[in-house]
Amino acid sequence: MNEIEIKIGLPPIYYSQAAKIYTEAFYDKTKGLLGSPEQMQSLIAKSFNPDLAIVALINDRLIGVAGMAFKKRHFITPSRSIFIEQFGIFSGLIKHLIYRTFSIRPYEPEQLLLEAIAIEPNMRGLGIGTLLITELENYAQQNLLNSIRLEVINTNSKAKKLYERIGFKTTKVEHNFFLEKIVGISGISTMVKETQIS
Ligand SMILES: CC(C)(COP(=O)(O)OP(=O)(O)OC[C@H]1O[C@@H](n2cnc3c(N)ncnc32)[C@H](O)[C@@H]1OP(=O)(O)O)[C@@H](O)C(=O)NCCC(=O)NCCS
């Protein structure tokens, strides 16, 4: 395989490809909240805080992205006006409210949140996710953050296994009516790994 480059930050030329990778990975989990796959991709592509990403490239092609949040800044932050532009005023406001309610997850002030990691489908299982998370750990340490936190749905056993192999420990398992009956998710596990500074 050609050499994989891991870099901090998402240059604008990759916004569309990053949004495509996220849409391919997470569309079925959004249950139509972000519209069709094309609408979801377009909305995400307009919503990046580009410095909060770690990306994987092969021959200058984006193949993986890990978005993070810390100190109240998030990699993906679709504004109310982006929702309105995409879905109209009424639907846009409701969708924005639901999105804000369920996407802004709690984390501690000295923690780095891994918001969303995804690798292009035909490049999974090759160690790229591991490389991105390793770089995320270096980034957390350089920014004096004492742990990394993530959330994973209980049925995503492949991702969970990967996080456990890297050293993340499950600290909480959440079940609730909304998740089970509306979103169809059996539960969400919070996993945490301490960094070397803690
Ligand atoms: C989860 C994900 C980011 C892992 O990235 P990756 O580059 O495939 O991971 P790696 O190659 O470094 O690690 C592979 C390990 O993860 C597991 N794995 C997870 N998803 C996998 C997939 N789709 N194909 C192959 N292996 C996968 C393997 O079991 C493997 O474990 P092992 O090293 O003990 O054999 C990637 O598979 C992906 O984009 N999945 C869809 C989106 C997703 O679920 N994101 C996580 C949400 S919390």
Our measurement of the distance from residue 149's CA atom to the centroid of its chain's CA atoms, rounded to an integer in Å, reads 12
Beta carbon of 132 within 6 Å of any ligand 1 atom: no
- Number of helices (H) and strands (E) in the chain: give both, helices first: 7, 8
| Closest C-alpha to ligand 1, atom 27 | 125
What does the DSSP assignment read for 93-147? HHHHHHHHHHH-----TTEEEEEEEEE-GGGTTSSHHHHHHHHHHHHHHHTT--E
With a 6 A CB cut-off, is 154 part of the ligand 1 pocket?
Answer: no
197: pLDDT strictly greater than 80: no
Average per-residue pLDDT for the chain? 92
Rounded distance from Cα 121 to ligand 1 centre (Å): 10
Give the three-state DSSP class for 71: coil
Round the CA-based radius of gyration of the chain to a whole number and report it: 16
Contacts of 127 (CB under 8 A, 6+ apart): none
CATH of the domain at 12: 3.40.630.30
User: Contact, 56 vs 62, CB < 8 A?
Assistant: yes
| Ligand 1 center–CA 156 separation, angstroms | 9
> What does DSSP assign to residue 150?
E
b/e 41-71 (16+ beta carbons within 10 angstroms → b):
bbbbbebbebebbbbbbbeeebbbbbbbbbe
Which residues pair with residue 192 across a beta bridge? Answer: 149, 169
Structure tokens at 59: 């021959």
pLDDT for residue 178: 66
What's the mean pLDDT in 164-169? 97
Residue 182 binned pLDDT confidence (cut-offs 50, 70, 90): low
Which domain, by its residues, includes 166?
5-194
Nearest CA among 191, 33, 3 for reference residue 114: 191
| 180 vs 34 pLDDT, higher one | 34
Res. 2: pLDDT tops 80: no
| DSSP string of 159-197, one letter each residue | HHHHHHHHT-EEEEEE--HIIIIII----EEEEEEE-TT
Angle, alpha carbons 147-148-149 (nearest 5°): 120
Nearest atom of ligand 1 to the alpha carbon of 118: 39
- Residue 25 Cβ inside 6 Å of ligand 1? The answer reads yes
Domain total in the chain? 1
